[in-house]
């Protein structure tokens, strides 16, 4: 249930103090390192190179950055502007479009759905758009809602196109294809976009913007307006052998977008690829805005390891279940 948070507070409220809460790996070191960056050029001569880079990034990290992604920067910049306009509204205005307190994802303003799993709150706010933003936009700006709707809807169309292209590439790295009969249908899934806001925090070392979690998606694509905040986890279980458990911060990335592997990719690949743990830390200087697009099969689509992704003799590590069931029970 969304609560009004006073993000202008000079002292962190007790409800947001995390420094004594075990959120999993909170105190592991943060180590800067290069993040795989893939130029998605449309040149057919580059196809094999792109495929190899994606395969390597999925095998070793579970996240990568894409450049030349084809998503219009005009759409992205308009969306960023609308995102700021939304979060700059007064708290009571935002609360007028609060999300209904249900486990299912629905449109509206509030904390991240994940916050229900913790006793402490995140130093952040979000606005989910499941399908069309029209109803809420009309409520917020009765005479001036069109630019918000246009920007979000165009963003969703462009992101869906990119997400489909990336899905095809990821499947190809597994020897599979979108045409395979056991590939669950993404036919007209309702687009799900989350606009996120991480206001300046008075005591960032005690707070958390978004606790460590994995996404329930095939892939998630993110656009952040500033650097700083998002961190990916790398640990001993990663496939590159002995590495110290640590967090990898995402640096400033210009016009690029960030791609995150979710649990559905892990299931399709029978665990060859791993969904990646990630978190957002709070900061004292920059109000950070992020736009996130989740690419996930329909709730009633059957999801399980894809036959062609398995080597002969491999046993299946995951049951074939409806996508919605996996989401309910975790994976």
Ligand X SMILES: O=C(O)CCC(=O)C(=O)O
Q: C-beta of 261: minimal distance to ligand X in Å? A: 12
Q: In terms of CB distance, is 153 or 215 closer to ligand X?
A: 215
Q: In terms of CB distance, is 46 or 227 closer to ligand X?
A: 227
Q: C-beta of 196: minimal distance to ligand X in Å? A: 4
Residues that bind ligand X (CB under 6 A): 194, 196, 210, 215, 222, 224, 229-230, 278, 280, 290, 292
Q: C-beta of 193: minimal distance to ligand X in Å? A: 10
Q: In terms of CB distance, is 120 or 289 closer to ligand X?
A: 289
CA distance 209 to 241: 30
DSSP designation for 270: T
Report residue 299 as tokens.
Answer: 């709730």
Query: Which one is catalytic: 78, 279, 288, 327?
Result: 288
Q: Could you tell me where the DSSP H helices lie in 111-210?
A: 134-140, 146-173
Q: Write down the residue that tokens 């960030």 correspond to.
A: 258
Is 219:167 a contact under the CB 8 Å cutoff?
yes
CA distance 250 to 234: 13
| Three-class SS state of 267 | helix
Q: C-beta of 221: minimal distance to ligand X in Å? A: 11
DSSP designation for 274: -
Is 282:123 a contact under the CB 8 Å cutoff?
yes
Residue 328 annotated as catalytic? no
Q: In terms of CB distance, is 169 or 277 closer to ligand X?
A: 277
Alpha-carbon dihedral of residues 166, 171, 172, 178, nearest 10 degrees? Answer: -90
CA distance 188 to 166: 17
CA distance 309 to 171: 8
Report residue 21 as tokens.
Answer: 């809460």
Residue number with the smallest Cβ distance to ligand X? 290
Q: C-beta of 208: minimal distance to ligand X in Å? A: 12
CA-wise closest residue to 306 among 320, 287, 288, 296: 320
Q: In terms of CB distance, is 53 or 126 closer to ligand X?
A: 126
Catalytic residues: 288
């Amino acid at each position: 249930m969304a609560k009004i948070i006073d993000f202008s507070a000079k002292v962190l409220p007790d409800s947001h103090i995390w420094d004594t809460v075990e959120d999993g790996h909170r105190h592991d070191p943060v180590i800067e390192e290069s993040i795989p960056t893939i130029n998605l050029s449309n040149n057919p001569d580059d196809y094999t190179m792109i495929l190899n880079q994606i395969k390597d990034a999925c095998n070793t990290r579970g996240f990568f950055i894409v450049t030349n992604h084809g998503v219009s920067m005009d759409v992205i910049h308009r969306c960023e502007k609308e995102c700021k306009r939304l979060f700059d509204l007064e708290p009571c205005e935002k609360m007028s479009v609060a999300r209904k307190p249900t486990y299912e994802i629905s449109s509206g303003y509030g904390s991240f759905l994940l916050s229900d799993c913790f006793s402490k709150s995140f130093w952040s706010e979000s606005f989910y758009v499941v399908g069309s933003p029209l109803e809420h936009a009309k409520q917020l700006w009765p005479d001036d809602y069109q630019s918000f709707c246009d920007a979000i809807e165009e963003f969703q169309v462009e992101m869906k196109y990119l997400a489909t292209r990336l899905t095809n590439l990821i499947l190809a790295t597994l020897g599979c294809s979108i045409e395979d009969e056991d590939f669950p249908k993404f036919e007209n899934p309702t687009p799900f976009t989350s606009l996120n806001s991480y206001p300046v925090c008075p005591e960032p070392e005690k707070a958390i913007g978004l606790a460590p979690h994995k996404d329930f998606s095939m892939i998630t694509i993110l656009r952040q307006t500033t650097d700083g905040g998002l961190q990916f986890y790398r640990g001993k279980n990663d496939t590159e052998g002995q590495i110290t458990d640590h967090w990898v911060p995402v640096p400033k990335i210009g016009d690029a977008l960030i791609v995150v592997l979710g649990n559905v990719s892990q299931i399709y690949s029978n665990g060859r690829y791993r969904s990646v743990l990630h978190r957002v830390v709070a900061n004292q200087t920059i109000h950070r805005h992020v736009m996130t697009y989740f690419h996930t099969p329909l709730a009633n689509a059957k999801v399980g390891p894809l036959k062609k992704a398995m080597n002969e003799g491999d046993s299946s590590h995951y049951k074939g279940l409806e996508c919605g069931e996996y989401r309910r029970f975790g994976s």
